A and B are shown apart, each in its own frame.
Chain A
């Protein structure tokens, strides 16, 4: 610690008593015991501290909205019967890498597949998402000319049913601020997994979706 140590310690104590952060320098290590003791005395002077309400709210947002870490793989989740939650497993924890990695899309392959007729192609307006149910699979179908594509209607982060927002051309999760494009890509900036895609095709003017009985 350069200069008079008592001056440096007084600066640290003064900052602590004003509620400021501990701003230490390398040379302060020589007085580490005194500094740590000063921090503890400052921490004790007002008794047990509780979180400020604004910080508690911020923390609640972090807990509820942080994308899930890859601690469960999608495959492991499916095996464990957590199919709905599995879509979220590709997300990464914010703060670990700072920039979430994009998650690859998965395609739903039903164990006991059945092509289900969900309506005439003419029932599906171009540029509009239409929700259909094909047995145990629910999906949003999008028409492009004479072809169709489909994505799961379940959010990849929280297992909630998406709704179609025609104004923005997005699928919207009612459970948290998550939006997806008709291709199933996240339309928000944090690390959501893509929506699962669903097999869909047009045959003889009818739209078929691969679902279950």
Chain B
């Protein structure tokens, strides 16, 4: 037996613990997790950070080659835990207190492609006309405070107060799930 030149050696193909397909499955599931998280934090930078946290925590499970359905359950459980930690850190509250108050333990939607805008419209529809209008203009139509004030024939100061009261009222109507 003699030494062999590495250049002449064909690459040995071995089944990897994380095959490309497993990564693709994980990414597809993480797309759903991202949408789930984005819908709760409302901004891309936080949604990306939290989704990456979920991915990092889930890597060992993902590498076990579990079926997509099992991966999804695990990812969403992890996502809820990460979200709980996010809110408790940002608001300085215990996760237990948050979970009790804000229903953070709510399970993920069974149909991730649900039209959340429509769901939010249903919640807003239960508000009084002024509250609904201010939130629709601000959040759904992207109006500035000044534009809302003009539209509603009011002052910026009054709209600010109305916005806060409308958000409190919407929160009392329940989780927009």
A residues sitting closer than 8 Å to B (CB atoms) are 4-7, 9-10, 13-17, 19-22, 24, 26, 28-29, 31-52, 55-56, 58-60, 62-64, 66, 68-69, 71, 82, 84-85, 88, 93-96, 116-119, 123-124, 129-134, 141, 158-161, 163-164, 174-175
A105 to chain B, nearest CB (A): 21
CB A92 to nearest CB in B, in angstroms, measures: 11
Chain B 91-132 against A: per-residue CB contact (8 Å), 1 yes, 0 no?
A: 111000010011000000000111111011000000000000
CB neighbours (8 Å) of B170 from chain A are 37, 41
- Whole-angstrom distance between the alpha carbons of A43 and B99 in the complex? 19
Pick from B59, B60, B98, B120: contact of A44, CB under 8 Å: B120
Q: Write out the residue numbers on chain B whose beta carbons fall within 8 Å of the beta carbon of A22.
A: 41-43, 46, 90
Query: From residue B148, how far is it (CB to closest CB) to chain A in Å?
Result: 11
Interfacial residues of chain B within 28-77, with CB under 8 A of chain A in the complex: 30-31, 34-35, 38-48, 51-53, 55-56, 59-60, 62-63
Q: Is B18 an interface residue (CB 8 A)?
A: yes
Chain A, Cβ-Cβ closest to B45:
A21
**In the assembly, what is the distance between CA of A129 and CA of B99, in Å?**
59
B139 touches A17 (CB 8 A): yes
Q: Report, nearest first, the 9 A-B pairs whose CB atoms are least far apart.
A: A42-B42, A33-B171, A34-B167, A39-B42, A43-B42, A130-B3, A43-B39, A6-B160, A41-B139
Q: Bound complex: CA of A119 vs CA of B9, how far in Å?
A: 18
Q: How many pairs, one residue from A and one from B, have CB atoms within 8 Å of each other in the complex?
A: 236
A37 contacts which of B17, B87, B91, B167 (Cβ < 8 Å)?
A: B167
User: How close is A42's CB to chain B, nearest CB, in angstroms?
Assistant: 3
A141 to B39, CA, bound (A): 56
Are A160 and B42 in contact, with the CB atoms below 8 A? no
Instruction: Point out the residues of chain B lying under 8 angstroms from A48, CB to CB.
Output: 35, 39, 112-116
Nearest residue (CB) in B for A165 is: B6
Q: How far is the CB of A145 from chain B (nearest CB, A)?
A: 18
Known A34-B168, A130-B3, A175-B16: A49·B163 in contact at CB below 8 Å: no
Flag if A45 contacts B55 (CB, 8 Å): no
A29 and B113 form a contact (CB under 8 A): no
Q: Are B43 and A42 in contact (CB-based, < 8 A)? A: yes
Write the nearest CB–CB distance from A141 to chain B, whole angstroms. 7
**Contact across chains for A43 and B145 when beta carbons are under 8 A apart:** no
Task: Find the A residue at minimum CB distance from B172.
Answer: A33
Please tell me which one of the listed residues B39, B102, B120 contacts residue A33 in the complex, with CB atoms under 8 A apart.
B102
Residue in B35, B93, B120 whose CB lies within 8 Å of A49:
B35
A45-B139 CB under 8 A given contacts A36-B87, A50-B31: yes
Q: How far is the CA of A7 from the CA of B42 in the complex (A)?
A: 19
Q: Which residues in B have their C-beta under 8 angstroms from that of A130?
A: 3-4
In Å, the complex CA distance between A21 and B90 comes to 11
Q: Is the CB of A51 within 8 A of B164?
A: no
- Report the bound CA distance from A79 to B9 in whole Å: 29
Query: Bound state CA distance, A68 and B56, in angstroms?
Result: 11
The answer, among A44, A66, A119, for a CB contact under 8 Å with B2, is A119
B35 contacts across to A, CB distance below 8 A: 48-50
B23 adjacent to A118 (CB under 8 Å): no
Known: A22-B41, A45-B139, A133-B1. 4 other contacts (CB 8 A): A5-B164, A7-B160, A35-B91, A49-B38
